[in-house]
């Protein structure tokens, strides 16, 4: 089993690698959601179109849940980074 991830603040950007990865995931998920929104059938009717629309809506619903979880993880990493900075400066958390 590997060690738990540690947030190391980046020197140049002020954003830890963990936070940068989460923000990148949020960005990519946003792109995927935009692509799904454009995937709805246009001019297509019938049971196939209904089934396809239902599947795309289901994927969008799950993507929204993942987005919420990523944003919660981002808030947690921000707090962890702040605590790590205090610890490195010799303070107590």
In a domain, 44, yes or no: yes
In a domain, 42, yes or no: yes
pTM above 0.85, yes or no: no
In a domain, 93, yes or no: no
What total number of domains does the chain contain? 1
Are 26 and 84 in contact by the 8 Å Cβ rule? The answer is no
In a domain, 4, yes or no: no
The pLDDT tens digits along the chain (93 residues) read 444 455 544 444 578 999 999 999 999 999 999 999 998 888 888 888 999 999 999 999 999 999 999 999 999 999 999 998 899 888 776
In a domain, 6, yes or no: no
Distance between CA atoms of residues 2 and 24, nearest Å: 23
In a domain, 10, yes or no: no
Range of the domain at 59: 17-88
Q: How many Cβ atoms from other residues are within 10 Å of residue 18's Cβ? A: 21
């Amino acid at each position: 089993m590997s060690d738990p991830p540690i947030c190391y603040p980046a020197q140049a950007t002020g954003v830890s690698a963990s936070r940068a990865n989460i923000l990148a995931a949020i960005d990519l998920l946003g792109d995927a959601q935009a692509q799904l929104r454009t995937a709805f059938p246009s001019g297509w009717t019938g049971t196939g179109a209904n089934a396809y629309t239902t599947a795309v809506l289901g994927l969008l619903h799950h993507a929204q849940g993942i987005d919420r979880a990523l944003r919660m993880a981002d808030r947690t990493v921000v707090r962890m980074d702040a605590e790590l900075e205090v610890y490195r400066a010799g303070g107590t958390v």
